[in-house]
Structure 1
Amino acid sequence: MTPSQDLQASRVVIVGGGPGGYEAALVARRSGADVTVVERTGAGGAAVLTDVVPSKTLIATAEWMTIADRAPDLGIRLDVPGESIPPAPRGPSESERHHVDLDEVNARVRELAAAQSQDIRARLESEGVRLVHGTGRLDGPQRVLVDATGGGSHAFDADVVLVATGATPRVLPEARPDGERILSWTQLYDLKSLPERLVVVGSGVTGAEFAGAYVSLGSDVVLVSSRDRVLPGEDADAAAVIEEVFRSRGMTLMPRSRAQSARRTADGVVVTLADGRTVEGSHVLMAVGSEPSTAGIGLEEAGVRLSSSGHIEVDKVSRTSVRGVYAAGDVTGVYPLASVAAMQGRIAMSHALGDAVAPLSLSQVASSIFTAPEIAKVGYSEEHLRSTGSRYRTSMLPLARNPRAKMLGIRDGFVKLFAHEGGRVLGGIVVAPRASELVFPITLAVAHRLTVDEVANAFTVYPSITGSIGEVARMLHHVDER
């Protein structure tokens, strides 16, 4: 049998239709494989239906509110008939604020998520991928059993199995979500009205994003953190900016406060902390991490090795401990990003079907936290460089000095680069509105091992926010080694 005939004969079954699963399916089909995707919630999985797409849609709405809040600084006032509105020192007065119809906002969020899911489904079907709506589990390493959503069951034999079942919100025993007052992040999109006082438990990425969004939408927000600061795993300078912005918008921050339980009252919730203090609110969002969806799907019975946290152990080409079984996405615990899940899925299929493949390199992963301003980063962090004793140079430029930022009324944020003593760019951080778009030049620099001088000598538009990236690179030309 020739290699091409071998590929065409391959049967691929993918359990999970999120970014890792559907991207893998497209690669496998292009290689000529017979591909089946088993998905319980719908094409795109939780990432599209209850996580990334809806959350970022909600946050985009909140971002519009933060832009509107800057309008008075630019000389723009809302026209309120019969009222004389004095100039606001910073931000609009209450009579000037736009008000949010959360029921309408959430309806749009759900519609966009459903539309994106349908687009993915149509793409997969047009490529010849078989879609099965149901819950899949392994019956050994080369067979997948499916309990169909509408009833009945199916069995699929496979030469290659990819597990991409994702993760679900972690639940505290004494704070179980009820979908009404005690909420996980997947349940926020059924709210009909804006929470009057939202208590957010957890100050990691999810907690910070939703806390920032809801305070911008108009809720009174309390952010409860068990750590010393917001975003404890992120760059300290970036976290400090976000904390300052949160406070300036009226958010209450409670560091070093571990939540123990949450219970409903007659018209709200009470969150009890480990030290006995209580926090009252109309609603509470539990954002205390996630757990991999690995239980009860036949992994251990098939010989697939799991870590102590329940994640599937994989190597850099997404192989598990069992030949022919691969895994991708949040279920692996490698890096909880849709982009990483998609890359893992593509790598897995290319490797399994005999195509050339480069192993996953986390040092080139770009990521963003969708607060306002956003935090985007790529490459090595300063904490990593310090802890490993690397000789590096760093430079940072506040965004307030950027002419384009001044024109837009942007005060908060910065650009920071890290470079090897020889000048090669090792990583960088952008804290700014739309930082997720602005970080791409730094991503290219890291991926292609450019030096700061090469970055500095590339033209940037004047005026532009990206001009600060070139300026920071020029500053690094003469910065002392660290």
Structure 2
Amino acid sequence: MGKYDYDLFVIGAGSGGVRAGRLAALSGAKVGLAEEHRVGGTCVIRGCVPKKFMVYASEFSNQAAVAEGYGWSASQATFDWKRFLEAKDREIARLSGIYVTNLSNAGAEIVHAKARLADAHTVELEGKGTVTADKILIATGGRPWKPDDFPGAEHIITSEEAFHLPELPKRVLVAGGGYIAVEFAGIFAGLGVDTTLVYRGPNILRGFDDDVRTHVAEEMKKRGVKIVLGAQHAAVEKTATGYLNRMTSGGDIETDLVMFATGRRPYVDGLGLEAAGVRLNEAGAIAVDKFSKTSVDNIWAVGDVTDRINLTPVAIREGAAFAQTEFYGNPTTFDHDMVASAVFSQPPVGAVGLSEAEARHLHGKVDIYLSRFRPMKTTFYGGDERCLIKLVVDAASQKILGCHVVGPDSPEIIQMAAVALKMGVTKPQWDATCAVHPTLAEELVTMRDKYVPQGAAA
């Protein structure tokens, strides 16, 4: 080393930065990490982990109703928001501590400070001087985007504040149609909050298969979520009893809380990228090549700050690939194709591969296999919850291009489906798999008839 303080300095101790820093340190490199908040990043501290705890908590109200259908006496249980928050915060602190321990045991040094690039090899640490490094990795993730272009925008909160509400509101408006908005709408509704989801587009979950989008919206309405489409805010006015949401489409909505989940943006503010010569792409993310290298030869970036696939496991794999390449002499890239994803909506979604529209655009003629049904558990007590399973198949090669599941345990199901699709499974191979009965997942391997929409020619 000699010339620099560190072999590697990582800016951002989220999932990708921690994995890269730990692996690099285990190789014998001298590694430093800077984190301006808590170690663990978006996922552990203010993202998927605490949000999943909230999903679990909110599901019990529906489970109690289902239990009555199976012969259990009506439950008189009540939900204690403050007690839940205390338990959630304890678990988050424990997980953050594990990240710190793993880094320390690997020999990495953690600096709690905002970091800024002074040049390609120099990092300024707010209030703690400067350090130099041979290699620098940026892994600062993303932050919620909050609009400020309408009167009263100062009254809205984002998902990050939702994790620390002093009390649960009686009425909430969630603005947005992406997975974060949809998940929080389900959470609030499940906890007994009068919930309205407002989205400016024609349907929620843009980017997912259209049948999935429609199905989720219908099922959310059954669980009490009011969905207002084609609408957006003109103003938010504070009143004596809450907030009056004035919509551009008309129809004012009064609530106790207004939460915007209208997207996240790469966190590049104040990083000094210009001083180091790091280039951004048209979307405002750090531009990188397949090895996660930026426009500067000794600076890399992984995770949401690059805006490739913004998922925690992807950031981890990108960070690991960087470490393998630069510190183990094993050039490694992460393949971003066929990455499965889940939406922990209620009901949840699991998806991998192409939507029907994407497949038709890229491959032309495709075969569709689609099933909508009431699962066995729901049928027993006369419930009206319905599941959806859909396969998108290339007509010529019979290769399965996409798999989409909406229903209980769909995130668990899609993980195994992703293995098959990643290996290039064909529909005949898929069909040759024997079903596990009685399960919801068996529907995936028993669909034989191609789906033909009503009114369409066979």
TM-score over 0.5 for the alignment? yes
Match for residue 372 of structure 2 among 388, 394, 398? 398
Instruction: Name the residue aligned to 2:102.
Output: 123
How much is the aligned-residue C-alpha RMSD, in angstroms?
2.6
- In the TM superposition, what are the counterparts of 1:154-165 in structure 2 within 5 Å? 154-165=129-140
Instruction: Name the residue aligned to 2:47.
Output: 51
Task: Check 1:37–1:175 CA distance in 2 against 1; reply closer, same or farther (3 A cut).
Answer: farther
User: Given that residues 24 and 345 in structure 1 are in contact (C-alpha distance below 8 angstroms), is that contact kept between their aligned partners in structure 2?
Assistant: yes
> 2:284 aligned with 1:310, yes or no?
yes
Match for residue 33 of structure 2 among 32, 37, 56? 37
> 2:309 aligned with 1:335, yes or no?
yes
Deviates more, 1:423-432 or 1:370-379: 423-432
Task: Check 1:435–1:357 CA distance in 2 against 1; reply closer, same or farther (3 A cut).
Answer: farther
Tell me the SS of whatever aligns to 1:422: coil
What letter corresponds to residue 246 of structure 2 in structure 1? Answer: T
Instruction: Name the residue aligned to 2:194.
Output: 220
- In the TM superposition, what are the counterparts of 1:335-414 in structure 2 within 5 Å? 335-353=309-327, 355-400=329-374, 403=376, 406=379, 411-414=385-388
Instruction: Name the residue aligned to 1:100.
Output: 79
CA distance in 1, matches of 2:398, 2:331: 29
User: Given that residues 322 and 332 in structure 2 are in contact (C-alpha distance below 8 angstroms), is that contact kept between their aligned partners in structure 1?
Assistant: no
- In the TM superposition, what are the counterparts of 1:160-309 in structure 2 within 5 Å? 160-173=135-148, 174=150, 182-275=156-249, 277-309=251-283
Q: How far is the alpha carbon of 1:160 from its aligned partner?
A: 1.5
Match for residue 21 of structure 2 among 8, 25, 28? 25
Match for residue 464 of structure 1 among 404, 424, 439? 439
Q: How far is the alpha carbon of 1:18 from its aligned partner?
A: 0.6
CA distance in 2, matches of 1:410, 1:326: 50
Q: How far is the alpha carbon of 1:244 from its aligned partner?
A: 1.2
Q: How far is the alpha carbon of 1:255 from its aligned partner?
A: 0.5
Structure 1, unmatched stretches of 5+, are 79-95
User: Given that residues 219 and 385 in structure 2 are in contact (C-alpha distance below 8 angstroms), is that contact kept between their aligned partners in structure 1?
Assistant: no
Deviating beyond 4 angstroms after TM superposition, the runs of 4 or more aligned structure 1 residues are 175-178, 402-410, 474-477
Tell me the SS of whatever aligns to 1:40: coil
Task: Check 1:97–1:357 CA distance in 2 against 1; reply closer, same or farther (3 A cut).
Answer: farther
Task: Check 1:388–1:97 CA distance in 2 against 1; reply closer, same or farther (3 A cut).
Answer: farther
Task: Check 1:176–1:45 CA distance in 2 against 1; reply closer, same or farther (3 A cut).
Answer: farther
> 2:20 aligned with 1:16, yes or no?
no
Deviates more, 1:98-107 or 1:354-363: 354-363
Instruction: Name the residue aligned to 2:92.
Output: 113
Q: How far is the alpha carbon of 1:389 from its aligned partner?
A: 4.0
Task: Check 1:224–1:50 CA distance in 2 against 1; reply closer, same or farther (3 A cut).
Answer: same
Tell me the SS of whatever aligns to 1:158: strand
Q: How far is the alpha carbon of 1:194 from its aligned partner?
A: 2.2
What letter corresponds to residue 369 of structure 1 in structure 2? Answer: V
Instruction: Name the residue aligned to 1:323.
Output: 297
CA distance in 2, matches of 1:378, 1:357: 27
Task: Check 1:277–1:26 CA distance in 2 against 1; reply closer, same or farther (3 A cut).
Answer: same
Q: Over residues 241-285 of structure 1, what are the superposed CA-to-partner deviations in whole Å (9 max), with x where a residue is unaligned?
A: 221122212222111001233232223112222245422101111
Q: How far is the alpha carbon of 1:13 from its aligned partner?
A: 0.8
Q: How far is the alpha carbon of 1:177 from its aligned partner?
A: 7.1
Tell me the SS of whatever aligns to 1:373: coil
User: Given that residues 404 and 463 in structure 1 are in contact (C-alpha distance below 8 angstroms), is that contact kept between their aligned partners in structure 2?
Assistant: no
Instruction: Name the residue aligned to 1:84.
Output: none
Tell me the SS of whatever aligns to 2:235: strand
CA distance in 2, matches of 1:374, 1:244: 13
Match for residue 418 of structure 2 among 428, 443, 451? 443
Q: Identity across aligned pairs (percent)?
A: 28
Q: How many residues align?
A: 449
Tell me the SS of whatever aligns to 1:187: helix
Q: How far is the alpha carbon of 1:325 from its aligned partner?
A: 0.8
User: Given that residues 120 and 299 in structure 2 are in contact (C-alpha distance below 8 angstroms), is that contact kept between their aligned partners in structure 1?
Assistant: yes
Structure 2, unmatched stretches of 5+, are 452-457
CA distance in 2, matches of 1:284, 1:245: 23
> 2:102 aligned with 1:139, yes or no?
no
